[in-house]
Amino acid sequence: MCGIFGVITDQEQILGPMLIESGKRLAYRGYDSVGCATVAANGEIDLRKGVGRIEDVSAELDFPAMRGYRGITQLRWATFGAPSYENAQPHLDSDGDLLGAHNGNVVNNVQMRALFLSEGLTVRGTNDGETCVHAVERHFDRNGGQMLKAIRAAYQDLEGDYAFVITHKDDHRLYAIKKGSGLVAGLGDGLNCVSSDLPSILPLTRRILRIHDGEIVVLSPEGVELYSVHDGARIEREEEWYDGPIEVAEKGGYPHFMLKEIHEQPVVAGELLHLLNSTPHLGHFLDALEATGDRPIYLVGCGTSYHACLLGAYYFNQLAGVAAVPVLGPQFIEQYGESVGPADTAVFVSQSGETKDVLNAVKVMRERGGRVLGVLNVLGSTLMNTSDVYLPLACGYEISVPATKTFVNQAVLFLYLAYRLAGRDTAELDALPELLELTTEATDEQAQAVTDYVKDWDDLYYLGYGLTHPIALEGALKLKEITYAHCEGIFSSEFKHGPLSAVHDGYPVLFITAPGDEMMMINHVNEVTVRGGRAIAVAAEHPELRSNVHDYLVVPDSDRFLSPILATVPAQLVAYYMSVARGIDPDFPRNLSKTLTVD
Ligand code: F6R
């Protein structure tokens, strides 16, 4: 999973700032390494790349000074090949006249590299982006220097899902191909560009051309042409005008995007409720859920989005008596891929709408003839385009790698759907934005106090019962993601079946509890405290629970269905403050990427 951006302009100029700006917008896709390359009018290539974040590498290598009339930027999330200078992209071919960069996964990378070496090509690293460049190189030489033919032949050799951009120093065009990974072209004034996603080209132009799988896009300063990779035929497609917002990634006075996004939760939850009350998509979505009859509805997602699916299943069951099966994307294929059929419905949940593990499951559901419903944040994403009907999360851009506001809105959306399936009045949910606001205010300092204790522990647990089980999983995921401590989320009654042996003096265990479940949870608290563990409650005020625990993160009073959503906030804050206390940047934790378009 990486991000690529390529641009061609009508005259040689300083291209560095444009490459950096688009690169920063792609940084959520990967930040193990970054590279920029420009081609001057005389064909000279200036390639600068290094390990680390774009701000640091750019400052060190002076990206802003880079000049040319064609340019490529690549942000890498390492799969094949460790983060290193050799594996950083863009890459050159053996003799340095082809320049290219990719996003995605070439699954026969190892075999292809062996082939290149046996043919005497110069292979510098182990990264599959370099493989894309050499794959074109060998056919370029055989096809008398014709790029289109060479790319089409390379496509036959490269297995996997990817997109790459490539140029030859003496061919005054940029070429890009899409096979499974995101790619969109932008048509500007005196420039044309191509990128892994739309937001990275919006500062340059709102005229866009969608590229489909199996298409090659050829960019010159004058225009953009599309060709089929299969037969080389020209494809005609109308450009589109994108009139959505150009969202600016600014921290708005907060030290990190994560904290800003936590504080945005009350507003985006209110906006989502408003949208759900008015969108015509909702009726179609509910019709599809109801058409499932007595069969279970599959709720499919990965990571944080999976936790929202799990909460959705509790809501569907407890509020509407509807059976739902929460399932991970790849697990859906392995566990239900042979048994689902035209009578089934699955809701696929993804912030990015590009998670490959989810899209693979969508593909299987499609092949089996089932209904595909999407819940997504990024409009224009693959999930949006492949769903029979979709609902947007309406959170705006989520920059921080750990998902926060999109989880809250996924939970709000499932709660809303469960209310509708139950025939309950959704006006009862109107209190939610204000309750989220109150929770954020009330728990911020408490979370910092709890963090003072837990920050030195490298191992801890979150326990939840029923409705709060998904929040325990989410709290634990957030904590391990941005603090590098190990933290596990468990259904509280399961703790005694093994993990309880971890408890010793002072060992921290956080208990997230919904109204109505306190007495049950007190049992589970005591199993920990009598063994010397330190119990930290996350719950609305409850005297008996309070007298059984050491610390208390108090969420405002609400009903048992809203309460898990509110309890999410202090869990996010504890993870955030612990991350900062450990000197980690919570927005960009090591080894991760915001959008995972690889298997
Ligand atoms: C954790 C996180 C990830 C994502 C997961 C799925 O904070 O963000 O676990 O939830 O990679 O991503 P989407 O929702 O884009 O499919």
Q: To test the ligand 1 pocket, which listed residue (77, 261, 262, 305) has its Cβ within 8 A of the most ligand atoms?
A: 305
Residue nearest to atom 9 of ligand 1 (CA): 303
| CB 350 near ligand 1, within 6 Å | yes
User: How far, in Å, is the centroid of ligand 1 from the Cα of 394?
Assistant: 16
Q: How far apart are the first and last CA of the chain?
A: 9
Residue among 355, 395, 414 whose CB has most ligand 1 atoms within 8 A, to mutate: 355
| 156 alpha carbon – ligand 1 mean position (Å) | 32
- Residues 583-597 have pLDDT tens digits of 999 999 998 888 887
- Give 179's strand partners: 162
Residue closest via CA to ligand 1's atom 5 equals 303
% of the chain exceeding 90 in pLDDT: 89
d(CA 309, CA 86): 40
pTM, entire model: 0.83
Which of 498, 534, 487, 491 is CA-nearest to residue 513?
491
| pLDDT band (50, 70, 90) for residue 247 | low
Edge-first strand listing for the sheet containing 33-39:
45-51, 33-39, 67-76, 3-14, 191-195, 184-187, 207-210, 240-241
Q: DSSP assignment, residue 180? A: B
Say yes or no: CB of residue 355 within 6 Å of ligand 1: yes
Any idea how long the chain is?
599
Distance, C-alpha 373 to centroid of its chain:
18
Q: What average pLDDT does range 116-136 have in this prediction? A: 97
Q: How many Cβ atoms sit within 10 Å of the Cβ of residue 475?
A: 28
Atom of ligand 1 nearest to the CA of 402: 7
Which residues have a Cβ under 8 Å from the Cβ of 445 and sit 6 or more positions away? none
Say which DSSP state 517 is in: -
- Tell me the angle at which helices 432-454 and 563-581 cross, rounded to the nearest 10 degrees: 40
Which residues are tagged catalytic?
A: 2, 594
Asked if the model's pLDDT at residue 388 lies above 70, the reply is yes
Strands (E), 77-202: 91-92, 98-106, 160-168, 174-179, 184-187, 191-195
Residue linked to tokens 């004034």:
189
What gap in Å lies between CA 537 and CA 541, rounded to an integer?
10
Question: By three-state DSSP, how is residue 231 classified?
Answer: coil
Burial of 256 (0-12, 13-18, 19+ CB in 10 A): buried
Pocket lining: 358 vs ligand 1, CB cutoff 6 Å: yes
Q: How many angstroms separate the CA atoms of 563 and 60, rounded?
A: 48
Residue-wise pLDDT tens digits, 318-370: 999 999 999 999 999 999 999 999 999 999 999 999 999 999 999 999 999 99
Could you read off the pLDDT of 447-465 as tens digits, one per residue?
Answer: 999 999 999 999 999 999 9
